[in-house]
Amino acid sequence: MPERTDFWGIPHTWGDPAIYVYTLMGLAALVLLWRFYRQASCWWKIGRPENRRDRPLLRLWKVIQYAILQGKVLRQRYPGLMHLGLAWGFFVFFLGTALATIDSHFIKFLQGNAYLLYKLALDLFTVLFLVGAGMAFYRRYIQRPARLTFGPGFTWSLALTSLIVLAGLAAESLRLAVERPAWAWWTPAGWLLAQAWIAAGIPGTILTNWHLGLWIFHLLIVAATLVTLPVGTLLHVLTAPLNIFFAKLDQPAGCLSPVPLSAEGKPVYIRALRDLTWQQLLAAEACTECGRCQDACPAYAAGAACNPKQLMLHIRTALRRDGASPLLDDKTISPTALWTCTTCASCRQECPVLIEHPDTIVDLRRSLVMDGRVDAELQKTLDNLGRYGNSFGQSPRLRARWTQGLPPIPDIRRQPAEFLWFVGDYASYSATLAGVTRKTAEVFQHAGLDFGLLYDAEQNAGNDVRRVGEEGLFEMLVEKNLSTLERCRFESVVTTDPHTFNTLKNEYPLNGDHHVLHYASLLDDWLAAGKLKLSRRLGYTVTYHDPCYLGRYNDIYDAPRRVIAATGCKLVEMPRHADRATCCGAGGGRIWMQEGQVAERPSESRIREAAALSGVEALVVACPKDVTMFGDAVKTTGYENRLQVKDLIELVYEAM
Partner 1 sequence: MSENILVVTEHLQGRVLDITYVMLAGARRLAEQTGGKVIAVLLGYKAQFLTQDFGADKVHSYDRPSLEHFSPDAYLRVLEAEINAEQPRAVLLGHTTIGMDAASGLSARLHLPLVSQAQRFDGSNFVSQICGGKIMAEGPLPEPTALVTMVPGGYRPEDGQGRNPPILEKQAPGLEGMRVRLSHFIEPEAGDVDIAKESVLVSVGRGLQNQNDLELVERLAKDLRGTVSASRPLVDKGWLPTSRLVGKSGKAVKPKMYLALGISGAPEHVEAVTGSNLIVAVNTDPNAPIFNVAKYGVVMDMYELIQALSNALEQEAHAA
Partner 2 sequence: MNIIVPVKMVPDLVEELTIDPGGAALDTAWMRLILNEFDDHAIEQAILLKERVGGLVTVIAPEAADVDDALFTAAAKGADRLIKLTGETGSINSHALARALAAVIQTETPDLILTGVQAHNDLDGQVGPLLAESLSMPYVGYVSSVKIENRMATVKKEYPGGLLAEFMVELPAVLGIQASDEPPRYVAFTKVRQAMQATKIEEQDIGELDISGSAAVSRMFQPEVKERAEMLEGDSDAVAARLVEIMQEYGVL
3-state secondary structure of 119: helix
Binding mask 431-450 for partner 1 (x = CB under 8 A): xx------------------
Q: Which stretch binds partner 1 (CB under 8 A): 104-112, 118-126, 353-361, 589-597?
A: 589-597
Q: Can residue 195 be called a binding residue for partner 1 (CB under 8 A)? A: no
Strand 644-647, strand 618-621: pairing: parallel
Query: Nearest approach, Cβ of 369 to partner 2 (angstroms)?
Result: 5
**Rounded Cα–Cα distance for residues 142 and 134 (Å):** 11
Q: What Rg do the C-alpha atoms of the chain give, in angstroms?
A: 30
Q: Can residue 642 be called a binding residue for partner 1 (CB under 8 A)? A: no
Query: Nearest approach, Cβ of 594 to partner 1 (angstroms)?
Result: 7
> Using CA of residue 358, residue 363, residue 364, residue 366, what is the dihedral sign?
positive
Which amino acid would we find at residue 537?
A: R
Report the residue number, 555 or 640, with the smaller CB distance to partner 1: 640
Question: What, of partner 1, partner 2, none, does residue 597 touch, CB below 5 to 8 Å by kind?
Answer: partner 1
User: Any idea what the Cα angle at residue 25 is, between residues 24 and 31, rounded to 5°?
Assistant: 95
**Rounded Cα–Cα distance for residues 133 and 254 (Å):** 38
User: φ, ψ for residue 514 (rounded to 5)?
Assistant: -130, 150
Q: Which stretch binds partner 1 (CB under 8 A): 98-106, 199-207, 330-338, 590-598?
A: 590-598
Q: Which stretch binds partner 1 (CB under 8 A): 360-368, 381-389, 509-517, 630-638?
A: 630-638
Which of 87, 563, 490, 44 has the alpha carbon at shortest distance from 278? Answer: 44
Report the residue number, 521 or 628, with the smaller CB distance to partner 1: 628
Report the residue number, 216 or 598, with the smaller CB distance to partner 1: 598
Q: 372 to each of 130, 257, 627, how far by Cα in Å?
A: 54, 21, 31
Query: Nearest approach, Cβ of 617 to partner 1 (angstroms)?
Result: 20
Report the residue number, 314 or 601, with the smaller CB distance to partner 1: 601
Q: Which stretch binds partner 1 (CB under 8 A): 231-239, 305-313, 341-349, 634-642?
A: 634-642
CA atoms within 13 A on the CB side of 267: 10
Query: Nearest approach, Cβ of 132 to partner 2 (angstroms)?
Result: 50
Which of 574, 426, 584 has the alpha carbon at shortest distance from 496? Answer: 426
Query: Nearest approach, Cβ of 586 to partner 1 (angstroms)?
Result: 12
Which of 194, 193, 307, 251 has the alpha carbon at shortest distance from 50? Answer: 251
Q: Can residue 597 be called a binding residue for partner 1 (CB under 8 A)? A: yes
Query: Nearest approach, Cβ of 93 to partner 2 (angstroms)?
Result: 54
Report the residue number, 107 or 431, with the smaller CB distance to partner 1: 431
Q: Can residue 595 be called a binding residue for partner 1 (CB under 8 A)? A: yes
**Rounded Cα–Cα distance for residues 50 and 60 (Å):** 19
Q: Can residue 632 be called a binding residue for partner 1 (CB under 8 A)? A: yes
Query: Nearest approach, Cβ of 365 to partner 2 (angstroms)?
Result: 11
Q: Assess contact for 94 and 29: CB atoms under 8 A.
A: no
- Residues in a beta bridge with 277: 48
Question: What, of partner 2, partner 1, none, does residue 379 touch, CB below 5 to 8 Å by kind?
Answer: partner 2
Report the residue number, 15 or 405, with the smaller CB distance to partner 1: 405
Question: What, of partner 2, partner 1, none, does residue 372 touch, CB below 5 to 8 Å by kind?
Answer: partner 2
Query: Nearest approach, Cβ of 414 to partner 2 (angstroms)?
Result: 20
Question: What, of partner 1, partner 2, none, does residue 369 touch, CB below 5 to 8 Å by kind?
Answer: partner 2
Query: Nearest approach, Cβ of 554 to partner 2 (angstroms)?
Result: 27
Q: From the list 84, 114, 572, 598, which residue makes contact with partner 1 (rule: CB under 8 A)?
A: 598
> Contacts with partner 1: how many residues (CB under 8 A)?
11
Query: Nearest approach, Cβ of 632 to partner 1 (angstroms)?
Result: 6
Q: Which stretch binds partner 1 (CB under 8 A): 440-448, 501-509, 527-535, 633-641?
A: 633-641
Query: Nearest approach, Cβ of 240 to partner 1 (angstroms)?
Result: 40
**Rounded Cα–Cα distance for residues 565 and 520 (Å):** 12
3-state secondary structure of 411: strand
* Contact residues: partner 2, CB under 8 A: 259, 267, 369-370, 372, 374, 376, 378-379, 382-383, 386-388, 393-395, 397, 470-473, 475-476
Which of 172, 180, 183 has the alpha carbon at shortest distance from 198? Answer: 180
Q: Which stretch binds partner 1 (CB under 8 A): 127-135, 164-172, 460-468, 593-601?
A: 593-601
Q: Assess contact for 9 and 212: CB atoms under 8 A.
A: yes
DSSP 267: B
Which of 593, 640, 649, 590 has the alpha carbon at shortest distance from 621? Answer: 649
Report the residue number, 99 or 476, with the smaller CB distance to partner 2: 476
Query: Nearest approach, Cβ of 596 to partner 1 (angstroms)?
Result: 8
Report the residue number, 471 or 609, with the smaller CB distance to partner 2: 471
Residue 28 CB partners (closer than 8 Å, separation 6+): 222, 223, 224, 226, 227
Which DSSP string do the residues of 493-521 spell out, in sequence order?
EEES-HHHHHHHHHTSTTTTT-EEEEHHH
User: φ, ψ for residue 494 (rounded to 5)?
Assistant: -125, 145
Q: Assess contact for 563 and 524: CB atoms under 8 A.
A: yes
Q: 183 to each of 32, 116, 383, how far by Cα in Å?
A: 38, 8, 79
**Rounded Cα–Cα distance for residues 57 and 97 (Å):** 27
Name which of residues 367 to 386 contact partner 1 (CB under 8 A). Answer: 376
Question: What, of partner 2, partner 1, none, does residue 529 touch, CB below 5 to 8 Å by kind?
Answer: none
Report the residue number, 95 or 476, with the smaller CB distance to partner 2: 476
Question: What, of partner 2, partner 1, none, does residue 475 touch, CB below 5 to 8 Å by kind?
Answer: partner 2
Q: Alpha carbon 170 to chain centroid distance?
A: 40
Report the residue number, 418 or 640, with the smaller CB distance to partner 1: 640
Which of 449, 457, 528 has the alpha carbon at shortest distance from 494? Answer: 449
Question: What, of partner 1, partner 2, none, does residue 594 touch, CB below 5 to 8 Å by kind?
Answer: partner 1
Q: Assess contact for 345 and 358: CB atoms under 8 A.
A: yes
Tell me what percent of the chain is helix, strand and coil, each rounded to the nearest 5: 60, 5, 35
**Rounded Cα–Cα distance for residues 292 and 300 (Å):** 12
Q: Can residue 640 be called a binding residue for partner 1 (CB under 8 A)? A: yes
**Rounded Cα–Cα distance for residues 579 and 557 (Å):** 8
Question: What, of partner 2, partner 1, none, does residue 149 touch, CB below 5 to 8 Å by kind?
Answer: none
Query: Nearest approach, Cβ of 384 to partner 2 (angstroms)?
Result: 9
Query: Nearest approach, Cβ of 372 to partner 1 (angstroms)?
Result: 17
DSSP 111: B
Question: What, of partner 1, partner 2, none, does residue 414 touch, CB below 5 to 8 Å by kind?
Answer: none
Using CB under 8 A as the criterion, which residues of the chain lie in contact with partner 1 when the complex forms?
376, 431-432, 594-595, 597-598, 632, 635-636, 640
